[in-house]
């Protein structure tokens, strides 16, 4: 089993139970020196997709899961890592009990573009379900997004 840091829709414990039923939630924490951003709008979705990039002044709330090899293969399919859209990278998560070395998915596309309002809502709901701080969830809900028809 390996540790995985979820920062997007996989923050939602119910979603992770569906996608990775053998991979329990271990803890939550922060990616210090990273920020949540969006990119990949050129891939034809309804807007840009969530990703993380290094930024010494920011931090991203994450949920850490202990993922089995079988579930990791399924996650690669869900996150399109098997197609190269996302790639895995090692990151350090700061938790109340110390630092953990984990992997996270990073979008392999240019940063930029706006997520759809519905996608941003799913991200905020997932963060809320993972018990992210209220100000973090509110910041997600207040991010700029694509309006309908754009």
* Helix or strand holding residue 126 (H, E): helix 117-129
Q: What is the mean pLDDT of residues 61-74?
A: 94
Residue 139 has pLDDT above 80, yes or no: yes
| Structural contact between residues 7 and 75, judged by C-beta atoms closer than 8 angstroms | no
Give the per-residue pLDDT at 78. Answer: 82
- Domains of the chain in start order, with CATH, are 2-136 (3.10.490.10)
Interior/surface letters 64-87, b for 16+ CB within 10 angstroms, e for the rest: bbbbbeebbebbeebbbbeeeebe
Prediction pTM value:
0.92
Name residues whose C-beta falls within 8 Å of residue 79's C-beta, 6 or more positions apart in sequence: 85, 86, 105
Quick: pLDDT tens for 15-28. Answer: 999 999 999 999 99
């Amino acid at each position: 089993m390996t540790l995985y840091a979820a920062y997007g829709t996989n923050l939602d414990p119910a979603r992770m139970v569906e996608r990775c039923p053998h991979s329990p939630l271990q803890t939550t924490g922060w990616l210090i020196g990273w920020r949540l951003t969006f990119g990949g709008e050129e891939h034809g979705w309804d807007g840009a997709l969530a990703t993380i990039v290094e930024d010494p002044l920011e931090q991203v709330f994450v949920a850490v899961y202990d993922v089995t090899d079988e579930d990791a293969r399924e996650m690669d399919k869900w996150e399109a890592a098997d197609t190269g859209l996302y790639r895995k990278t090692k990151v350090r998560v700061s938790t109340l009990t110390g630092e953990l070395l984990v992997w996270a998915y990073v979008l392999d596309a240019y940063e930029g573009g706006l997520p759809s309002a519905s996608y941003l809502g799913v991200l905020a709901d997932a963060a809320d379900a993972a018990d992210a701080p209220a100000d973090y969830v509110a910041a997600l809900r207040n991010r700029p997004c694509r309006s309908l028809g754009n």
